[in-house]
Amino acid sequence: MFTRTETFSEFLSKYPVTSSIAAIHTALWLVFLLPFKDAAYWFSEIDGFNSAILAGEWWRLVTPLFLHAGFSHLFFNTVSLILFAPALEQMLGRWKFSLLYLLAGVAGNAATLLLLPGSYSHVGASGAIFGLFGAYLFAAFFRKGKISPVNVQILSIIVALSFVTSLLSPSINLTAHLFGGVAGFALGPILFQKEAFVHYTYYSVASRSRSVSRTLPVWMVILFILAVIGVFYMFF
């Protein structure tokens, strides 16, 4: 459920929303990395600056979900997205999944606006990703046929470690993480149907094995791309 064995082209075809979000993350980070003179200005026009949101710039509740403060920030959020989003996109369908991702992310940003100072500024997809964790937890508790016991154990460990990491790092927006997760959990009754879900792939075991033997799995392609970007960032 949380392992990726698809080839790159298979991943793009099966999970279009997840692929699009990952592409937007990377594209925007690269754009603002370019040395044009107004890059910092335009970045500051769409980040999550609380005072600007209170002044009426409400788009800042959404746009920070697709921005990242550095390569490591981009790397961990994008890898988390690639690992944990596909199963939910398959379970819910692209429209419900998109709704979950956006509403959880906006909920995290809205909580940041209400609970943190006006001078606070933030970027990142973490609130939306924690919304995915919240939705998984709802399914684990209330839609038991959708996630196997083994995957529930894996998920519980991942969520616990993620929250501990959030608590230990002062630079992490714990408010967005917490309320994004709560929003994802709260959306569970609306998003999930009660019939049992069986996780499957569109390819038989034999055909998938032949495909993987000829082509790199998606996670290797993504890691290679991000590694190249990281090297470029460090040396140029």
Instruction: Give yes or no for residue 224 having a pLDDT over 70.
Output: no
Catalytic residue among 25, 68, 122, 177: 177
Q: pLDDT higher for 212 or 118? A: 118
Is 119 one of the annotated active-site residues of the chain? no
Residues 21-78: pLDDT tens digits?
999 999 999 999 888 778 889 999 999 999 999 999 999 999 999 999 999 999 999 9
pTM (2 d.p.): 0.80
Token representation of residue 232: 């470029």
Is 126 one of the annotated active-site residues of the chain? yes
pLDDT at 165: 81
pLDDT at 233: 45
User: Whole-angstrom Cα distance, residue 146 to residue 225?
Assistant: 32
Q: pLDDT higher for 130 or 167? A: 130
pLDDT at 163: 82
Name the 3-class secondary structure at 198.
Answer: coil
Over residues 216-226, mean pLDDT: 51
Over residues 81-101, mean pLDDT: 96
Q: Which residue has the tokens 């949380």?
A: 2
Residues 113-139: pLDDT tens digits?
999 999 999 999 999 999 999 999 999
Angle in degrees, CA 81, 47, 105, rounded to 5: 40
Q: pLDDT higher for 47 or 156? A: 47
pLDDT at 222: 52
For residue 55, the surrounding DSSP H or E stretch is: none
Most confident of 109-113, 205-209, 213-217, 225-229: 109-113
Domains of the chain: 8-235 (1.20.1540.10)
- The letter for the amino acid at 1 is M
Catalytic residue among 19, 80, 126, 166: 126
